Structure formats: structure tokens, C-alpha cells
Chains A and B, each alone.
Chain A
Amino acid sequence: MATPNKILLLDDDESMLELYQELLKQLPSRPDVQVCNSGARAIAMLESEPFTLLITDLRMPKMDGLQVLAIVRRKFPQLRIVVLTGVLDEEYRSRCYAQGVEMFWQKPSNTEDIQMFQNCIESMLDRVTQTPDGFRGVQSKSLVDLIQLECLSRSSSVLHITRAALDGRVWIQGGEIIDAATANLTGEEAFKEIMSWKGGNFEILPADPSRMRTIHGSSQGLLLDTAQSLDEAQAPEPSSEPGREGQPATGLAALARLEGVAFLLSVPMEEKAPLESWSLESPGDVAAWARDTHRRLARLGETLQAGAWTGATGFGLQEHWALQPHDLKGLLCVGFRPALEKDQVEQTMQLVFDKWAS
């Protein structure tokens, strides 16, 4: 007998958890539905056992749904994610899709919606069961990259691209771009127009062999021309571009790209100065502990005449961390994923610290 799919349901509202747990248990595939009411708990559960699907709310205290998505997407790239929320905001929707969620659902308010929600989840579980293998991932690719991939793999497909109200299609046959269409434009003009869109969504539809060819030049030549035109037209990137996981691109976000880093916290010695943190659920609590630890260890060092306190490291099953003082900048506390060995933690900490201090 096949193992049932496992669904983790995350919502801070206990009554919603009960309701949706019941609804999901009624699905024909009879999934195993587990619930939790905080982001931290959800991550711990996902770490402890494999789940097929995470269904999460967005508005929650402490760690909100977007933070959960950011962490989960990074730690569990194979996990399917559905957002189920009362928040009706296009920006939230876009940010969720950018984080790679499969579906963004407004909490159903009537029987029809509930039925549709159940059908969608069942259909998703069914797809997972039928095609468990293969690579999945989330990334921001330019349209040039996407089309180049289709061409290089000699695919035959129709690329359907949308950007807000704009809608375009690019027909690819045997790796050659044969036509494009958007609004009143067709052929190369339409292709160049579509390629100028700076963001949006795409889906790859089945090939349409009956489509008349209007673009006769080589696909590589067309892509090169287009890429060159785009480069020339490109304005400088705004400096306030959001960083990874939708958080502001602070200096810490850049440090977080180092392998194995789970969270970062920069603690100024001045208690009233603002903290800077990345991917940490309770920066205030950790900062208070870091300052207290600094005071204790500095005092102990004086008593022992052991020289200055240069750092502390903690190793655990769930995570590792390191804390290091800097004369001018204060304290840097960094969390590390448990997969890192002790010496890797220390080496990575030194790298992070040096970059932070500079």
C-alpha cells in the first residue's frame, strides 16, 4: 500500500487549523494532515520528517508567512507550498509566487470555494504521486535565458508570457523561434516587444505545429540582437532592490549568501541603537543574550587574565551559532545550518566576520 501524502498545515488560528485539517482529511487520497501554529514549529517539523505539501497562512505573529516561505524554500526545495490567506494584496501574491509557491488561495468563504480548494489540493497531490522524480526549483531568469534554453534543447513548445494585463506568446518549433504575438504585433516586432518586459509569469504550453512561420532568421541571431538592444536600453538598477527572501538588501543579506549561514544578527554595543538582523525570529531576545554573554565573558577574561574575549561558538543538533565582538561595531551573532562541521562553522564565521567588520 502506498504511503499517504503528508500535509503540514500552518496557521496561528487554532480554529482554522481544525477546520482545514478536517477538510483535507476528507480528500480521496486520504493524506496524513499535521498542524502547527508557528513558523518556528513548522520548520522544526519539516526538519524532523518529510512532507509533501505545506499549506501556510501569511499573517502570523513573530515569524510571518513570507519569512516561513523564504526559509522553507531554501531548506526544502522539493516541498510543494500553498498559501492560504485572508490577505488580498497583489504585492503579497507576487512575492509569494516569486518565492515559488504553487498556489495562492484566498481562504474559502463558501461551499463552492471549499470544494474547489479541495479539488486543487487533491490534484496537486495526485501530480506529486505520479511524477515524484525530476528537478524543481525557483529562480529568476530573464526571458532571453528561458527562450535560449528552449532553443538549445531543440524543444517544440509555446511560451505563454504574461505581465499584468499584457499577454504574449512565442512559438518554438524544433528549437527555432517561428513566431510571436502580442496585442497587435506579430513576428519579430512582437518578439522584441515581449522581450522588453522586465518581469512577469510564464508557462510552457504544448507545441503548435500548425502555426505559420513568420520569423525566418536564426534564433540565436535574433536572441543576440534582442539581448544587445535590451542591454543598451537598460537603466541602472535601483539601489533599493529587495534582497533574497524579500527582505531589504542590507549588508547582512549579502553575507547570508555564504554557504551554511542560517541567520545573522548585528548588535551594536549601544543598547538603544537599532539591531540589524536577517532570518532571525526573535532578534531582540538574541541581542539581549548576546550583550549579556559579552559582558559575562569579558569580565571572566579579566578575572582569569586570559586576554581579550575573542569569540564563542555553540554547537547543537538543530543549529550552530557563533558570537564575536568587534571594538567599534559591536557584536555579530551568526547561525549556521547543522550540516556544517565544527571547523567549517569556525571558518565561515571568520569569513562572515571579516566581511561584516570591513
Chain B
Amino acid sequence: MGFLTKRSSKSGLHQLPSGTFTVDPQGRLVSSTVPQWVPEALVREIGQQVLAVFKGAAAARLQFSELKIQYEAFRITAREMRGGAVIFLTPKTAPSALRP
């Protein structure tokens, strides 16, 4: 259990978030169905990182409108929307299995 306690202490998350949210081109949260227990700062952070990937890719002349990011236990899917994005968060494992 020490391992799980150490992991959870970093962000205070008890489980991986799920839901959908949108960010504007400046990374501001526009709308969200992500549960309230997920810190808003974390949701914004995800949005900003996704936008940074889109913008960096455009600068490198890689053009795309849909981005899928895979983690061992989590998936982020994002669609570019007029400089902003709609972002889907999907845990891969049943949330209860990840509870500390």
C-alpha cells in the first residue's frame, strides 16, 4: 500500500478522472462534465498541455485535428476546435481498481 499512498500523495487524486471538457485557444476552461472532485487546476493543466501539443505540431508543419494520447491506465482524446479543443478523458481500468 505504500506504493499507492506515495502515488496518490502527488496530486491528491483518488481515481483517474473521466468526462469531457472544452478549452478556448488561451487554455481557459469553457465547459466541463468532469466530476467536481477533480481539481479544476488539473483539468486546466490537461487542456493546456493538449493545446501545446497541437500548437507545437502546427509549428513543425504536422497537420491534424484529432489527437489521442495513451497512458498505461488512461486515454486522452482531443479534437481541435478553432484554436481551442474538446477533450475526452477515459480511464482504461475500472476506477475502483485504482482507489488507494
Residues of A in contact with B (beta carbons under 8 Å apart): 40, 281-282, 285-286, 288-289, 292-293, 296-297, 299-321, 335
Contact = CB atoms under 8 A, between A and B. Distances in A.
Contacts of B56: 289, 292-293
B60 interface: yes
Interface string B1-39: 000000110110100110000000000000000000000
Contacts of B63: 316-319
A312 B69 CA distance: 4
Given A296-B49, A296-B52, A303 B70 contact: no
B45 interface: yes
A289 B59 contact: yes
Interface in B50-84: 52-53, 56-57, 59-74
Contact of B57 (A304, A307, A314): A314
Contacts of A302: 10
Nearest to A302: B10
B61 A281 contact: yes
Given A289-B60, A316-B65, A318-B63, A307 B74 contact: yes
A306 B16 contact: yes
B53 A307 contact: no
Interface of B is mostly: mixed
Nearest to A286: B60
Interface of A is mostly: mixed
Given A289-B56, A304-B13, A310 B70 contact: yes
Chain B contact residues (Cβ within 8 angstroms of A): what range?
Answer: 20 to 34
A300 B72 contact: no
B71 A306 contact: yes
B70 A320 contact: no
A189 to B, nearest CB: 58
B42 A303 contact: yes
Max count, chain B CB within 10 A of own CB: residue among A300, A308, A311: A300
B62 A286 contact: yes
B69 A289 contact: no
Nearest to A298: B71
Contact of A317 (B52, B62, B65, B71): B65
Contacts of A311: 69-70
Contact of A304 (B66, B67, B74): B74
B8 A289 contact: no
A300 B49 CA distance: 8
B89 to A, nearest CB: 9
Nearest to B55: A289
B67 A314 contact: yes
Contacts of A320: 64
Max count, chain B CB within 10 A of own CB: residue among A288, A303, A305: A305
A311 B16 CA distance: 18
A293 B72 contact: no
Nearest to A311: B70
A40 B61 contact: yes
Contact of B73 (A293, A306, A318): A306
Nearest to B56: A289
B57 A308 contact: no
Contacts of B52: 292, 296
A305 B91 CA distance: 11
B73 A307 contact: yes
B32 to A, nearest CB: 16
Contacts of B72: 306-308, 310
Max count, chain A CB within 10 A of own CB: residue among B17, B46, B57: B57
Nearest to A287: B60
A303 B64 contact: no
A337 to B, nearest CB: 13
B45 A305 contact: no
Contacts of B66: 314-316
Given A289-B57, A304-B71, 13 more contacts: A281-B61, A293-B57, A296-B53, A297-B49, A301-B74, A302-B10, A303-B45, A306-B16, A307-B71, A315-B67, A316-B65, A317-B63, A321-B64
